[in-house]
Amino acid sequence: MIVRPRIRSSIVVLATALTIGVAVMAVPAFAAPENEGSACAAPTLPDAGSLPTNAKLPDPFRKLDGTRITTRAEWTCRRNEIKRLAEKFVYGEKPARPQSVTGTVSSTSITVNVTDQGRSSSFSARVELPSGTGPFPAVVVLGGFGADTAAIKAAGAAVINYDPYAVGKEGTGRSNKQGAFYSIYGATSPTGLLMAWSWGVSRIIDVLEQSGGSVLRADATGVTGCSRFGKGAFVIGAFDQRITLTMPIESGTAGAPIFRGVPGEGAQSLSSAYGEQPWLGDAFGTFTGSPNRLPVDTHQIAAMVAPRGLFIMDNPHIANLGPRSASVAALGAAEVYRALGAGDNISYWSDVSDGTHCADRAEWRTPLQQNIRKFLLKTGNDPGAIRISSRAQGRLADWVDWTTPALDGSTPPPTTPPPTTPPPTAGGACAATASLNAWTGGFVATIKVTAGATAVNGWSVGVTLPAGTTISNSWNVTRSATSGAVRFGNVEFNGRIAAGASTEFGFQGNGSYGNPVLTCTSP
């Protein structure tokens, strides 16, 4: 794992600490790193006119000089290269920390005052505390529209209700951008709204750092949002390394889905997303019809979060959201996490039954609280999960021509994907087939159980996994073991299958699936 620099200058607090809040003064520019790569040599970025066409996802491990990183320590500067590419070609530049940031933190609100380049602006956010005694970690919820706030507070974290429109307003033209960000950096700034929203959350964290931690902890901040605010949460977590947990939900085009995959999936087109609102930077306009020219894609943006916590929640029922392309982005980012020795810190979950956009889903409540405990409260260590719905499964192997390096001389994970689905094997009155989503060192298997000519009332599926393969998680099923010969059995709600109908269960494994034979039997 990468060791984060924690060297900080002492900060003078101007005002008296009050029962309801703390007033704070401007923070020095070196107080905390938004970007640990700021000390890296400035990379020479390509010009837009010289970019080659590449239908495959860019190699996240290949530096701009053409060499590949070989150690985990090199990720800091490689990440900085990805950041600079993303700013230049996708989102627009995120300015360096302003000259002055002041504000207050109380049990009900946060105020932020910013001065930079001779201009000033202000905004505020509402705070909701959980029960118990603080100081509390906090999750920034964009627009009141993100992960279940009741579940967040029940897990022991506060909620910071952040209004992105106060910082970057929608409904404006690209030459007349408005909000606190553009009051300082100009209405014609080429920086898009998503990066402006990111800047705003960074300024909130500045104020939290200065507050002394009497109400909210500055070292334990998460971010979440759904739909357009999911796009914002995705960018916010990538561009501030002080955020310890990033949780975008159903972010759609301009969020998690790979740009290269959007045109072929039936998702909102790149030109539509670019034109609907100035979410993306102005420079992205030249790529809406040619995403294969981009030198960066969203698997790398997601990888910028590594090794911090990342929990992407998605909806496989709405093709317009690009869930298949989002799963590819997550699988690509997972390769970076695993190379850094942090494979348990990333989750992607689209295996949900309710297709309503931005619904509070029961399937997400437990992993949401597990992530909060692990990354914000530091009281848990549950591994991440890759739960991709069979409705919208992307295959990373279709999009990459690179392999994952063994950093620091560690044993390289296998790079050959498992074989495709084996043929159905009948047993008694039912048959079982498997579909796979594989990545280096792991996979998700979705098993379909189909009844024959007569209805099935109870079933079991047997499989013998290859040596070294273990099951880390399973759903909609009981199981007899985690390795070797495993027998899966139905649970109460899926035991009865009508003639010719089917049901599904799944499991996540470490290692390779191999090519085992499935046997299905019914009483």
Q: Among candidates 430, 382, 250, 340, which has minimal Cα distance to 4?
A: 340
Instruction: Give the dihedral sign, CA 84/87/89/90.
Output: positive
Three-state secondary structure call for residue 42: coil
Q: How far apart, in Å, are the Cα atoms of 31 and each of 140, 204, 236, 264?
A: 21, 14, 19, 45
Please give the Cα distance from 429 to 458 (Å, whole number).
10
How far apart are the C-alpha atoms of 314 and 327, rounded to whole Å? 9
> CB of 326 within 8 A of CB of 257?
yes
Q: Token digits for 16?
A: 């008296």
- The whole-angstrom separation of Cα 248 and Cα 253 is 13
DSSP string, 47-61: PGGGPPP-SSPP-TT
Q: Which of 121, 227, 350, 389 is catalytic?
A: 227
Enumerate the β-bridge partners of residue 136.
Answer: 216
For 327, the 3-state DSSP assignment is helix
Minimal CA–CA distance to 473: which of 494, 444, 437? Answer: 444
Contact 264, 241 (CB under 8 A): no
* C-alpha–C-alpha distance, residues 110 and 103, integer Å: 7
d(CA 264, CA 20): 53
- Look at residue 373 and give its three-state secondary structure: helix
Residue 519 CB contacts under 8 Å (≥ 6 apart), including other chains: 425, 427, 432, 461, 462, 463
Catalytic status, residue 227: yes
Contacts of 124 (CB under 8 A, 6+ apart): 109, 110, 111, 112, 166
Beta-carbon contacts of 106 under 8 Å, excluding residues fewer than 6 positions away, are: 18, 20, 21, 22, 127, 215
Measured CA to CA, the distance from residue 88 to residue 98 in angstroms comes to 20
d(CA 142, CA 65): 38
Q: Count the alpha carbons within 13 Å of 454 in the hemisphere toward its beta carbon.
A: 7
Told to judge if 357 belongs to the known catalytic residues of this protein, a careful annotator would answer yes
d(CA 436, CA 386) in angstroms, rounded, equals 12
Which of 124, 357, 472, 502 is an active site residue? 357
3-class secondary structure, 437:
strand
* 273: enclosing H helix or E strand: helix 270-276
What are residue 230's phi and psi, to 5 degrees? -70, -40
Active site residues: 227, 357
